[in-house]
Structure 1
């Protein structure tokens, strides 16, 4: 395994944004749906990864999950990549519930629920074909000439109805390992060392998609967010207060000295402004600027500037 999947920045940020967005906010429903879909998508990808651990072949191969690459000013994201001696496969993973109907001419994907209601969704085949073209160009710039192919994978064991022959193979996560195990490379375009070299270069070239700050990404006014440091124990969001050199939750009684660290992380996920002492006080609810300065100094941050013009940045 040359690259494992990690929790998307967008998912972490959406958790923070949903908690800080008032329920009456005009975008609250939209953000909760974004969070649900992003979490479901990540869960489906993890399901695929779990099954792919079963893949053992008699030919050299490399597996990379969750790649974000850049070519000619365009970023393109690949859910999973499988490199063999004669081809590279892009897996496009879809997390869709209910029954899936696929028609080949014209190419259409329908999701049908248990009430018989159908919903047309964007063809993942078109998505994969776009990524295939970009990856071919990306490889070509590095003098790697090998066929790039694509498959569609539905994360769970959906009831599938495929009418005609779609342009790309379609499987469930459970079936995907069988597909890869059954491959029989016809000719050796690249050697084992080349497979490893390409995989290492792909992993090095990965640039994680960064949607921060989310208030800018989703066009939300920063002042509409809830302020304060949230208790990490309470299931219902509870604001802690700073007292006697520590944070205390009035709801469950929990006491901690570093609860503000989560608040700092959320600031850099959500807010578009520089983190100053005053901004830290307003965001966390700390009343005393000297206390805020001491907490910021103890945090994993780098101070820039001096005096009233100083601000804090995350240490890379």
Structure 2
């Protein structure tokens, strides 16, 4: 039973908005592109996991994705399976290339196109998640049920290796082994520890306590609002200065026209700055001079206040309204796989 679906990471959406509104010659542009690629690859990997989970979808499982809980400190879980006999945490990795593990030094390296990157051993991360979850469960009044962790690589273009004679930890698997590993756990733990009612209550509590990560990218990357480029961006060619012409937006580069492209600009503003916008800010964003035109373009937004102090409430849903920022048409400039 699916209790909680995947969440689009807010940090991913904010990075995408910054990436498309910063000049490419800005000193922080490439760093933002690299971080966007990492977040995007991770999100795509979590979605790809669903294909393998469906192979052993059983009625006794309660499945939750994209959790960020707190027990003394925040801890994040990509996917958790609540089973009457055990709880399984899944940390998803969507890396391509040659991935090497050195458990003795707690390191993982990834080599692709002649470039080598170093990461923390994902087993350390998985064990930390299990530790925090066990403590969280104790506070909920649940103890004794086994908590297992897996690190699952979903990309078909990854080669997992080891750096010494020590075997790769068996909790690190490729996604095509997930169903077999799940069945092994089912045989390893034949005893029921928790009822379906208790499992459902645990899942509901997880959903209630879930707190998605909030991030201030201006502070993180030491950016100023002046770095952001205004304008209505053409969805056809990405030209950043469409002109308002007789009720339409017209792209001076490719000729594409639209009545509603400014809505995406408002969504960018929502992610970049604030959930409220003034007429003056809208004129800057749309690069127009007329207060009346700006007011008409904002007519579908809720007006707050009157006269010069008035603003408009922007109400967008991060799960539904930002598909234009989740396109994979771009080449991954950081070397991460965008589509498994």
Q: TM-score normalised to the size of structure 1?
A: 0.88
2:254 to 252, 255, 261: 252
Cα distance, 1:131 vs structure 2: 1.7
CA distance in 2, matches of 1:48, 1:42: 10
**SS of 1:229's equivalent?**
coil
Cα distance, 1:25 vs structure 2: 0.5
Taking the TM superposition and a 5 Å limit, the aligned residue runs for 1:158-307 are 158-162=158-162, 163-165=165-167, 169-182=171-184, 183-184=186-187, 185-211=189-215, 214-234=217-237, 236-271=238-273, 275-299=277-301, 302-307=302-307
Partner of 1:89: 88
Cα distance, 1:201 vs structure 2: 2.5
Cα distance, 1:264 vs structure 2: 0.8
- Cα distance 1:274–1:223, how it changes in 2: closer, same or farther (>3 A)? farther
CA contact (8 A) 2:81 2:87 kept: yes
CA distance in 1, matches of 2:109, 2:126: 18
Partner of 2:141: 143
CA distance in 2, matches of 1:172, 1:6: 23
CA distance in 2, matches of 1:4, 1:273: 25
CA distance in 2, matches of 1:114, 1:260: 40
**SS of 2:207's equivalent?**
helix
Q: Write out per-residue CA displacement over residues 96-152 of structure 1, whole angstroms, 9 at most, x where no aligned residue.
A: 22222223334332323465x654321212212222222222222221223322111
Partner of 2:337: none
CA distance in 2, matches of 1:168, 1:142: 30
- Cα distance 1:88–1:231, how it changes in 2: closer, same or farther (>3 A)? same
CA distance in 2, matches of 1:10, 1:83: 27
Does the alignment pair 1:11 with 2:27? no
- Cα distance 1:56–1:244, how it changes in 2: closer, same or farther (>3 A)? closer
- Aligned-CA RMSD value: 2.3
Partner of 2:75: 76
Deviates more, 1:168-177 or 1:200-209: 200-209
Gaps in structure 2 of 5+ consecutive residues? 317-340
**SS of 1:53's equivalent?**
helix
**More relative contact order, 1 or 2 (CA 8 Å, 6+ apart):** 2
CA distance in 2, matches of 1:278, 1:216: 24
Cα distance, 1:30 vs structure 2: 0.8
CA distance in 2, matches of 1:24, 1:119: 25
CA distance in 2, matches of 1:273, 1:65: 27
Cα distance, 1:168 vs structure 2: 6.3
Cα distance, 1:274 vs structure 2: 5.0
CA distance in 1, matches of 2:28, 2:105: 36
Cα distance, 1:26 vs structure 2: 0.6
Partner of 1:134: 132
Gaps in structure 1 of 5+ consecutive residues? none
Q: TM-score normalised to the size of structure 2?
A: 0.82
CA contact (8 A) 2:3 2:203 kept: yes
